[in-house]
Amino acid sequence: MPICAIDDPALRTMAEPVTVYDKQLRQLVKSLTLTMRSAVGGAGLAAPQLGVPLRVLVYNYDGRAGHLVNPRLELSERTIVADEACLSAPGQWRALERAFAVTARGRDMNGKPVTVKAIGMLARILQHEVDHLDGVVIPL
């Protein structure tokens, strides 16, 4: 599926919580995963980047891959500044301060509770994708 460009209004709208865990949701997770994997440098992707205003994200970094539905993040106090990019703005990088570690809690596509503990780059990826769910795009 095509990824929305950085100037698309869909990226600046708060995504709605998922309330139904059905075949459509499972198809969305599959589409997000395939699109992320086919994109150069794709380590994470949020449903709004495909024009779908739902709180769903996928990630794949350093051997850890998965998805989260309706994620909530608990951020560490320790922060780190590092370069960050976005599939909606290919080739553009910005140094951003993010929490060094996160605990992400949500559900899987079948509605089962999921907890992901991440540090470093995976923590940054999860924060970036949750920003997309909140209608926030990295400043370019």
Question: What is the greatest pairwise CA distance in the chain?
Answer: 39
CA-based nearest residue to 49, from 58, 40, 41 = 58
58, 32 in Cβ contact below 8 A?
Answer: yes
Q: Which of 16, 74, 97, 129 is catalytic?
A: 129
Close Cβ partners of 10 (under 8 Å, ≥ 6 residues apart) = 4, 48, 51, 53
Query: Rounded to whole angstroms, how far apart are CA atoms 37 and 15?
Result: 22
Answer yes or no: 16 catalytic: no
Sign (positive/negative) of CA torsion 51, 94, 75, 108? positive
- Residue 97 has which token pair? 């301060």
Catalytic residue numbers read 129
